[in-house]
Structure 1
């Protein structure tokens, strides 16, 4: 039977043990259990300076920022100025992407649920000015499609930058100011912010990079994302503030003092299933709502989100049935292994949840018809080639366009998991030993492959 009692000493020892085992320099953990938020910290913020992590240390949350942006959008739905079926072009005059039909038809709901099909990793530096999102959206005119809209879920950071610009146009504020005034301040999230200069008021976690299984070293730069990435990738937080934010959603949109931040209907809409996920490993989610990733743990429903910011990795899980919320923030190393090992125990004890293990192939790989999967697959910013060498499936993964500076081309042997799933070793700035490549077909029969839950259609 699950227990709401949180044994801080026991979980501190377990956090320390697992953090060290997975070569994670520093981590913070916050857990809502029995109506109380518990906070733990372990390790160092920066291996070069040795500054210790404390519970009020600030980390990069990566894509967990998307849920904050989705909440702002749903506040505007509450106010009546937006609807989920509002067309983006009606809210942002002059908005365009490369596909004219998508330009005319794409809705706010499709952006929220990652079903617009718009190429999702358009990283474009438009400077540090308050006009960065306006200029980003202007540059989207040349952004193509990963897949047709409403066919499959294809994870789309581009869509969340567009949503951030919608927030600006409707509110008359920058996205940063709107987030602070409409969400962070009402919830009393005093250790949450969006800009690096704001984070410098606090103890800040440094990004670390290195090969999995080794102690990573401090990165050359703390953050490589431009300011325009804010709505999809940069809310700077403590673990406890993430839990306080999620608690508002758990409580149907109200703050602890009773302040209505979001309507109960909109809070429910954000976690109502819109689409199923063929790739159930990359985010460990089997579905998506209007902002939240959705989980089914042997019949126990949950929601949450993961985030990555080039070496910093974050994880958030909410179990409504038991009122448990847990957030883990890390600054490098084998963070996925730490998360899985810790949360399997933690959610098992506190919420009765059987969370699945990390993705990995079987010890004895199965044979697969590589010819059926081989070819060239492409989406915005990524070019994938799958072939075979001496009977072993092989991948070449090349970043292109604005993404090219983030990593040189990567080549790796693959391991078959099934006839439609291959496993790639976790190479580069990732936190897991294996990454899934999941193959499927669009409704029109076009083959595609998921990598990181981004759909890349076959082009040759």
Structure 2
């Protein structure tokens, strides 16, 4: 096993150098090794004001928030108030979706493992009131399915907002209050919160946007998420607080002072494989538990989660066999490149694992027969048409329904990666230069296309 000694000066130099190479304005890093948390910071929180990043700076964690919500749900499993097999409709009377049969039968476990098939990108602003999640779930009555429940992973932020409402109904508190009282406070996470006005007490990172290879500029707004997106996308954190949260899971659900926050059984269930992932590139995961994304690094098991929020990108990796956890928070640029380059070295040295490279096609393109995959694939809010031009695969991406006004249609060439995987150039406020499109079939043989690890069935 490689040495686990953490050389702060050397890792600070690597963080500084890689951050500059990848045009990331600011970043913070926290690493748990040998029971001790080390913290580093680099760059600027805001390129417009010149405020420097510090280890106590607060960033948006994006979808890492889902693991916090999953932990709250598993606390309710511990208390006997929920089971993974509990039907959502039994907990939320009147719960409705566009597909009545799914609404009647979808389970808590399916929401946690992203196997509910519920259309995952239903972002609906229900205001700032304490009833925002109740109103959000009411609005889900018109939300459709990306795929049948229990078939494949199809990443669903909608499902986690529904879980947040379940937490509210059972605890009698808002999701924000339940998170604070049942998780943040027992773990002493004093630099973690859910609301922007709470974050203003601290140094807060600004989001940055820009074209690839350029220095990104401050975004026009700090955050675009409504309060109802909290359970799926807004826990505001420092890197060290993220690692403290991860350490509780590493320690089988106990806080450093011995307080039992989660049972060992529930902590294990959250990282026990519930489903395999055909798309192993979007989240760099090859499986999912009841909350955690799961990794197999050449036979070494790990878990973690990634997050994105309008130019802020976060990454958490845990290697339980080595007792190592590391969190990286960033505010723009090619953050995925920084993450991969840094964590390949970091986890290689401290935990003896080899993380895969960032997703990208080979330098020399390989032949690809478009014909078996040509056609239109559609999930709620997105239509993807695969065709060819001059013998090369091509994509037309259209936002539909309530999403239609966010962007005009995009047409782009695609580069083959394998017989069932294509790469498209990164678009919009993403941190990676290439995005995967993965073709698969449901258990009944019907074809679908993964984009953003959301399954879009073939419709034409």
Q: TM tier, shorter chain? A: over 0.9
3-state SS, counterpart of residue 135 of structure 1: helix
CA distance in 2, matches of 1:213, 1:385: 29
Match of 1:447 in 2: 447
* Whole-angstrom distance in 2 between the partners of 1:2 and 1:75: 36
Q: CA RMSD in A?
A: 0.8
Q: Which residue of 2 aligns with 1:211?
A: 211
Report how far residue 400 of structure 1 moved. Answer: 2.7
Q: 1:145 to 1:272 in 2, by over 3 A?
A: same
Structure-1 residue corresponding to 2:21: 21
Q: Deviations over 1:397-434 (max 9, x none)?
A: 22233434544332211001112100001121100011
Contact 1:399 1:409 (C-alpha < 8 Å) held by counterparts: yes
Within a 5 Å distance, the mapping from 1:330-341 to structure 2 comes to 330-341=330-341
Deviations 1:367-386 (A, max 9, x none): 11112111111111211111
Who is 1:428 aligned against? 428
Q: Does 1:299 align with 2:294?
A: no
- Give the superposition deviation at 1:346: 0.1
Q: Which runs of structure 2 are paired with 1:304-453 in the superposition (5 Å)?
A: 304-453=304-453
Gap regions ≥5 residues in structure 2: none
Matches within 5 A, 1:218-297: 218-297=218-297
Once the 2 structures are TM-superposed, how far is the Cα of residue 177 of structure 1 from its aligned partner?
0.5
Distance in 1, Cα, partners of 2:370 & 2:53: 46
Is the CA contact (8 Å cut-off) linking 1:311 and 1:332 kept in structure 2? yes
**Partner SS state of residue 431, structure 1:** coil
1:68 is matched with 68
Q: What does 1:25-104 align with in structure 2 at a 5 Å threshold? A: 25-104=25-104
CA drift at 1:281: 0.5
Contact 1:123 1:403 in 2 (8 A): no
For structure 1, the residue ranges without an aligned partner over 5 or more in a row are none
Task: Report the Cα distance in structure 2 between the residues aligned to 1:111 and 1:406, rounded to whole angstroms.
Answer: 27
Distance in 1, matches of 2:12 and 2:363, equals: 32
Structure-1-length-normalised TM-score = 0.99
Contact 1:303–1:319 at 8 Å: present in 2 too? yes
In 1, Cα distance between equivalents of 2:87 and 2:49 = 50
Q: What is the CA-CA distance between 1:387 and the residue it aligns to?
A: 1.1
Say if 1:114 and 1:153, in contact at 8 Å, map to a contact too: yes
Contact 1:292 1:304 in 2 (8 A): yes
Aligned residues: 460
Greater mean deviation of Cα atoms: 151-160 or 389-398:
389-398
Distance 1:411 1:234 in 2: 31
Q: Is the 8 A contact 1:123 1:402 kept in 2?
A: no
SS state at 1:145 partner? coil
CA distance in structure 2 between the partners assigned to 1:133 and 1:64 by the alignment: 19
376-385 or 281-290, which moves further after superposition?
376-385
| Contact 1:118-1:146 within 8 A present in 2 as well | yes
The 10-residue stretch of structure 1 (335-344 or 369-378) with the greater mean CA deviation from structure 2:
369-378
Worse overlay, 11-20 or 425-434 = 425-434
Give the 3-state SS of the residue equivalent to 2:294 in structure 1.
strand
Which secondary structure state, in structure 2, belongs to the residue aligned with residue 89 of structure 1? helix
Structure 1 residue matching 2:81: 3-state secondary structure: coil
In 2: Cα distance, 1:354 partner to 1:361 partner:
20
**TM-score of the pair, normalised by structure 2:** 0.99
Question: Residue 109 of structure 2: SS of its match in structure 1?
Answer: helix
Show the counterpart of 2:110. Answer: 110
Q: Give the equivalent residue in structure 1 for 2:137.
A: 137
